[in-house]
């Protein structure tokens, strides 16, 4: 079931909030501004429902000062060094909107545009957007489709697709901040990541190009580990990011939908399982949230939420050893990510 309601207006156009509900009373709300997941309501072990993602009460707040809460990030999610990349013999200079680097598509990425929305009969919301050739300096006109589906198995499935009329680069993700406790910080959440390697960064959050083994480092989440257990360790990579804000190289075959991560919060009994076709995931521990007034008057401070952004690796256009993010005419960009909400036994 999908309910639609008015959520304000943007650039003179109406914005709507779509709430998907399944047979278990799980609810996911999405607005067509930025494709933002504004709310996910799931039960705890006692049957009490809480909203487990960070966000705002009003559209105006999302427009004015949003640290990418719940949005679709693109055309290229994550960072590109100095905002530069070369493609087909030409160099492109993108916006430098994160210090000297390019982040999440630039000044007006996909998180800041109005998507066309269409409800379908299978509890899905279909969002489409035409990104013009030269938008945010990216080459090629891009037709983008993102489908959010809430299943009766308590899964939020996100299917992404894109085609282009000229060679370009594409890297899309969802940027939801989760807190399975519904309150407090996320340091007691226990995380498992099926990844033997990660991509170390420099002080500007740009990958060095190395694929480093997690073994013997605070980046080893191959068994469940509280987020806060090692987050303040004396480790150069943690100091660069003031915590976790890194890309993990996921085990298994990219392109195949596989289980890559689990998160559990023992007090409420909520769990989160992550499946994706993507080669990487950016695990971010909310290090730069600072006194943001969010939903229901809550104040989001440092480490109030965590992100699991399935993706290609940061700065891939400038890293020849990373999986390619180039999309050419006649090809189709396709990827799927599934967040499954569980109750721990």
Catalytic residue set? 175, 309
Residue with tokens 């909030």: 17
Using a 10 angstrom Cβ sphere, with 0-12 exposed, 13-18 middle and 19 or more buried, the burial of residue 11 is exposed
- Residues across the chain: 345
Q: Are 334 and 270 in contact (CB under 8 A)?
A: no
**Distance (Å, rounded) from C-alpha 253 to C-alpha 149?**
24
Tell me the CB-side half-sphere exposure of residue 17, using CA atoms within 13 A.
18
DSSP per residue, 228-247: GGSTTSS-HHHHHHTS-EEE
> CA-CA-CA-CA torsion for 105, 108, 110, 113, nearest 10 degrees?
-170
Q: Are 240 and 99 in contact (CB under 8 A)?
A: no
């Amino acid at each position: 079931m999908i309910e639609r309601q008015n959520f304000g207006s943007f650039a003179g156009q109406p914005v709507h909030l779509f709430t998907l509900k399944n047979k278990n009373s799980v609810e996911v709300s999405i607005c067509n501004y930025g494709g933002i997941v504004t709310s996910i309501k799931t039960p705890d072990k006692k049957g009490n429902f809480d909203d487990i993602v960070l966000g705002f009460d009003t559209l105006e707040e999302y427009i004015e000062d949003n640290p990418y809460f719940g949005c679709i990030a693109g055309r290229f999610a994550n960072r590109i060094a100095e905002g530069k990349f070369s493609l087909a013999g030409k160099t492109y200079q993108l916006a430098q909107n994160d210090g000297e680097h390019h982040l999440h598509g630039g000044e007006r990425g996909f998180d800041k545009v109005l998507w066309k929305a269409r409800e379908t009969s299978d509890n899905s919301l279909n969002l489409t957007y035409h990104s013009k050739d030269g938008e945010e300096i990216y080459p090629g006109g891009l037709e983008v489709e993102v489908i959010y589906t809430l299943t009766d198995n308590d899964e939020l499935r996100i299917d992404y697709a894109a085609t282009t009329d000229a060679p370009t680069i594409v890297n899309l993700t969802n940027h939801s901040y989760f807190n399975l406790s519904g309150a407090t910080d996320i340091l007691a959440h226990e995380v498992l990541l099926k990844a033997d390697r990660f991509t170390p960064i420099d002080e500007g959050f740009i990958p060095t190009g190395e694929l480093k083994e997690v073994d013997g480092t605070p980046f080893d989440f191959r068994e469940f580990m509280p987020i806060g257990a090692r987050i303040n360790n004396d480790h150069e990579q943690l100091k660069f990011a003031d915590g976790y804000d890194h890309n993990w190289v996921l085990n298994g075959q990219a392109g195949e939908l596989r289980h890559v991560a689990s998160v559990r919060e023992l007090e409420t009994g909520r769990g989160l399982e992550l499946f994706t076709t993507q080669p990487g995931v950016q695990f971010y521990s909310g290090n730069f949230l600072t006194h943001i007034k969010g939903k229901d008057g809550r104040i989001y401070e440092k480490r109030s939420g965590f992100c699991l952004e399935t993706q290609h690796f940061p700065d891939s256009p400038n890293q020849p050893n990373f999986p390619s993010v180039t999309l050419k005419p006649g090809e189709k960009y396709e990827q799927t990510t599934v967040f499954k909400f569980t109750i721990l036994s």
